[in-house]
Structure 1
Amino acid sequence: MKTWSFRRRAVTAVTAVFLLGMGGCIAGIADRPEAIDRTRIAGTWTGDDGARVELHTNGRFEMSNIPRSAVVFSFGDPPPGDGKLSGSGTWQPGHAGDTVDRILLYVEPGGSFADVQVEALGVAESGEEPVLYFSTSPDEWYGLEIRKTPM
């Protein structure tokens, strides 16, 4: 049990450093990264074909109907095929501060995921109708868009 806990922490730390570093590359590509007020992150975000991410105020999240192509598998093998993914775990802003340009999703084993995964949501638009996107890879930095569902 202690080995799993140590492995998970090590994998999470390495991935977070990679994703934060990749954020600098993304900023260079996009010229000016968008940022969202951290108080606006929690809520339900939806995309095409029923994609859904619920970011709860307690730091938990659930996602469903996410296209396989929107998720980069950092650890372990991806599920076979091109279907839809579901999973849950915890989330946190990519850095401290009043505004945030990315949100880290720590996906726990279960649903479509056999191993711990770390995903990043970038901020595409921060205005009245904010838009987040899944960071797909350094080669295709802008992926599936999800929009915040009005309350």
Structure 2
Amino acid sequence: MPSKQRPLSSKDLLERIGLGEAQPNNLLQDEPLSDLLEELDGDLGAVLQERYRQLGVRHVFKPGDLVRWKPGLKNRRLPGYDTPAVVLEVLDTPIHDGEQESGSAYFREPLDLVLGMFWDRGKARGDFVSYYLDSRRFEPWSRD
């Protein structure tokens, strides 16, 4: 039975359109992003609607569950894409990020999931840390 193909992550999308880490380009281009997406047989509106749909798909998590970012919805450095994190706690009442600038991606973000993961850099590499994150951006982790 063929496996279901996962949607492109934001990182994969940027690689496909030539804006990845190997080919850094100025993101402030004159041409609309929809022109850059043409080779993907899609349009920017469809990609936005798909990301919106994915954000609305809720999963019920409990402590001990392994989770990962949903494709295209990673908005923090940790954990990495396809890197599992363990659920430490699910908050009944979300804590809202205290970011004061309304133009920030974190402004009033509802943080209702406490995840445990390993720090990946520097002297603390391998230390177990916890972060508060938005559960809407996560899905159950599985070994693909």
The alignment's TM-score, normalised by the length of structure 2, stands at 0.24
Is the radius of gyration larger for structure 1 or structure 2?
A: 2
Structure with a larger share of its residues in helix: 1
Question: Larger strand proportion, structure 1 or 2?
Answer: 1
